[in-house]
Amino acid sequence: MAKPRVFISSTYYDLKHIRKGLQEFINSLGYDSILFENGDIPFIHNEPLDKSCYKEVELSQILVLIIGGRYGSPSSDEYEKLSQTELDKHYKHYNSITKLEYETAKRKDIPIYIFIEKGVSSEYATYKKNKGNQGIEYAHVDNIQVFELIESIYTQHRNNLCRDFENIEDITRWLRDQWAGLFATLLQNQTEQKDIKSLESQVERLNTTINGLKTYSESIMRTSNSEDFESIIKKTNENIRFKNIEIALRDSVLFRHLIDSHKYEIDKIIESIMESKSIEEFCIMIENNMPKGESCGIVNNIDNFAIEEINKIREHIFGLKPFRKRKL
């Protein structure tokens, strides 16, 4: 019988006791815990070790991310780029293995449960007030990129709920409640799925009727010798298309946020989608057309999930090529 696979992502030495406690908790629920130190990851002999970790994240259904005071080792792709001096290490930007495990789970869009050590979480407020100050020393982290990772998580518009923790009980208590709720939601969704299938069938029949009435109405107008029937039909079709575009935009988290929270004009969104040649150009156009005095944090920190939503609309609604995703 298939079991949920839960990948535990964190640095090792500073959090090994937390990892051990999580393993015991997850296994007690009958789930499969995935930890590299237990041999749960099959490493490929002709690839760097961290590549196997990312592949294992893709095969998991849940990721638990534990953030402590260490940022972690650089990924194999960036190992040679890292400066050897401690000061440069502290401020040089690079992707750690733990960060890329998180990015992989985010790209795969599996549920992510994030826990931040309480001391690190408290000091994060100090970091926000002292950005760019390389003279400050932080007591709870070995690299300011721990704070930058936390900041990037908070800027996400979904799948980014974080909890502080002091001990393993803080984590397991919350996970037990969350996973129980997830299971209850799954059971409820199975019931609702039957109703949705029935509703989809009714909508399909209704669309068939509407299309038939539309054709019938156009036929009547043409035979009535009305001088402006072509312009009326054209205007009606344009209105229908615009309404369909608005519905598609509201299905996107990003565009729904722009429309509802910033009162963004739909015409301006359409213009940005159609005229921009890259995601960077798209973001610039969106920002330039923002209502006076406003700025959107989601647009400023746009991620690959949001780019996927934009690309679906570009391809399916406007027949345009997708934007290239950003490298992790």
Q: How far apart are CA 16 and CA 18, in angstroms?
A: 5
Reduced to 3 states (helix: H, G, I; strand: E, B; else coil), residue 26 is helix
Domains of the chain, with CATH numbers? 5-166 (3.40.50), 240-328 (no CATH)
Give residue 134's pLDDT. Answer: 77
* Radius of gyration, CA atoms only, the chain: 25
Reduced to 3 states (helix: H, G, I; strand: E, B; else coil), residue 178 is helix
Residue 246 contacts residue 301 (beta carbons within 8 Å): no
Give the residue among 27, 31, 94, 20 at the shortest CA–CA distance from 60: 31
Tokens for 35, please give them. Answer: 């930890």
Q: How far apart are CA 212 and CA 58, in angstroms?
A: 46
String of DSSP letters for 49-81: HHHHHHHHHHT-SEEEEEE-S---PBPTTTGGG
Residue 67: CB atoms within 10 A of its CB come to: 29
Residue 323: which residues within 8 A CB-CB, separation 6 or more? 276, 278, 279, 282, 307, 310, 311, 314
Reduced to 3 states (helix: H, G, I; strand: E, B; else coil), residue 233 is helix
Mean pLDDT by 10 residues, the chain (328 residues): 89 93 94 88 83 92 95 80 53 81 93 96 92 84 91 91 94 93 81 66 66 66 63 74 83 86 89 91 89 78 85 89 79
Q: In what order do the strands lie in the sheet with 62-67?
A: 32-34, 5-9, 62-67, 112-117, 162-165
Residue 274 contacts residue 318 (beta carbons within 8 Å): yes
Q: pTM, whole model, 2 decimals? A: 0.59
